[in-house]
Amino acid sequence: MWLEYEIRVPGEKPRTVRRAVFDLIGPAERAPGAAALVLDDEKKVARGLALTMQTEMLPLASALAPEFVRHLLAQNLLDNRELFAVALRGTPVSPAAIEQVLDRSAVPLSALYPLALARLTEKEQQHIYIDRPNLLTRHMYAVPSPEGVRFRDATDIVANEIGVSLAADDAFAARVAQGVRDTNAESLLRASGVAFGNTGDAFAASRTWHAFAARQEAGVADQLQLPNDVRRQIAADVANGYAVVAPESPVPVQPEAFSGW
């Protein structure tokens, strides 16, 4: 099962970005001649937990004004004043009453708004700007683990392309710097304990990384000691025209080893 985002910009071909909700086969097993899928109990549990995923999406057509986000936060706090009053009183409340209060409460403001502010501060906006749809997403889901079930809170900046002012000295360097800011902002603002999969954290924990130029020959990722599925995805990105920087082997960061690129 996949989530597909189609991004359309006037005068350009539509671009589709795909993210997996669950993939019980994987790119390696899906290769020609591979064995057929055996849907055992372990895979059924993985599929069932993956389908509990909740996804928040924040599309951006421009940078957000801090005053606007403060307004949203203040309005959210006002909408939840009854809930806060019940929590602060500290007196016993019946389950039925709590349920009624929760039904009348507003959904908390998404953590994607602080991320949108952090990635484009006033200083950065002197030379860069959003010239096409940007998309920030957050996935909250459960995964099986040896201890039972773990919960994950993963932030994914699906589209982060920017425009660069003609006054900038180096447009390429400005875009690379923005990508680094995006990754670091993800790490700084993620929920502790359940957050998962940040490339910046993995890069800080290990310097054994390899760079692959776009459209290199087949087998480009075979030297990496990463899972087969990850190596095939890296090779596909390189073949599709992306330059890739990947760790030599899974990086031991919390809450579990990282195999991204």
Q: Is residue 70 one of the residues assigned to a domain?
A: yes
Concatenated DSSP letters of 25-82: SHHHHTSTTPPPP---HHHHHHHHHHTT-EEEEEEESSPPPHHHHHHHHHHHHHHTHH
- Give the largest CA-CA distance in the chain: 68
Higher-confidence residue: 233 or 190? 233
Q: Are 220 and 256 found together in one domain?
A: yes
pTM (predicted TM-score): 0.85
With CA atoms as reference, report the closest residue to 226 among 26, 89, 13.
Answer: 26
Q: Are 210 and 250 found together in one domain?
A: yes
Q: Are 78 and 132 found together in one domain?
A: yes
Q: Are 59 and 145 found together in one domain?
A: yes
Q: Are 182 and 141 found together in one domain?
A: yes
Q: Are 183 and 60 found together in one domain?
A: yes
Please write the tens of the pLDDT for every residue from 15-34.
999 999 999 888 878 777 66
Q: Are 142 and 160 found together in one domain?
A: yes
Would you state the pLDDT for residue 21? 92
Collect all residues with Cβ–Cβ distance below 8 Å to 46 and sequence separation of at least 6.
22, 24, 143, 144
Task: Specify the number of domains making up the chain.
Answer: 2
**Domain range holding 220?**
200-261
Q: Does residue 171 register a pLDDT over 60?
A: yes
Q: Is residue 114 one of the residues assigned to a domain?
A: yes
Q: Which of these ranges, 24-28, 31-35, 148-152, 195-199, has the smallest mean pLDDT?
A: 31-35
Average pLDDT over residues 102-117: 90
Please write the tens of the pLDDT for every residue from 73-108.
999 999 998 888 888 887 777 888 888 888 888 888
Judge residue 168's burial from the number of C-beta atoms within 10 Å of its C-beta, 0-12 exposed, 13-18 middle, 19 or more buried: middle
Average pLDDT over residues 208-224: 84
Token code pair at residue 121: 């501060």
Would you state the pLDDT for residue 96? 86
Q: Is residue 249 one of the residues assigned to a domain?
A: yes
Collect all residues with Cβ–Cβ distance below 8 Å to 154 and sequence separation of at least 6.
138, 139, 140, 141, 195, 196, 197
Token code pair at residue 206: 């290990």
Q: Are 130 and 238 found together in one domain?
A: no
With CA atoms as reference, report the closest residue to 104 among 87, 73, 81.
Answer: 81
Q: Are 221 and 261 found together in one domain?
A: yes
Distance CA 261, CA 255 (A): 17
Would you state the pLDDT for residue 150? 86
Distance CA 102, CA 82 (A): 9
In angstroms, the first-to-last Cα distance of the chain is: 22
Q: Are 59 and 111 found together in one domain?
A: yes
Q: Does residue 186 register a pLDDT over 60?
A: yes
Q: Are 186 and 60 found together in one domain?
A: yes
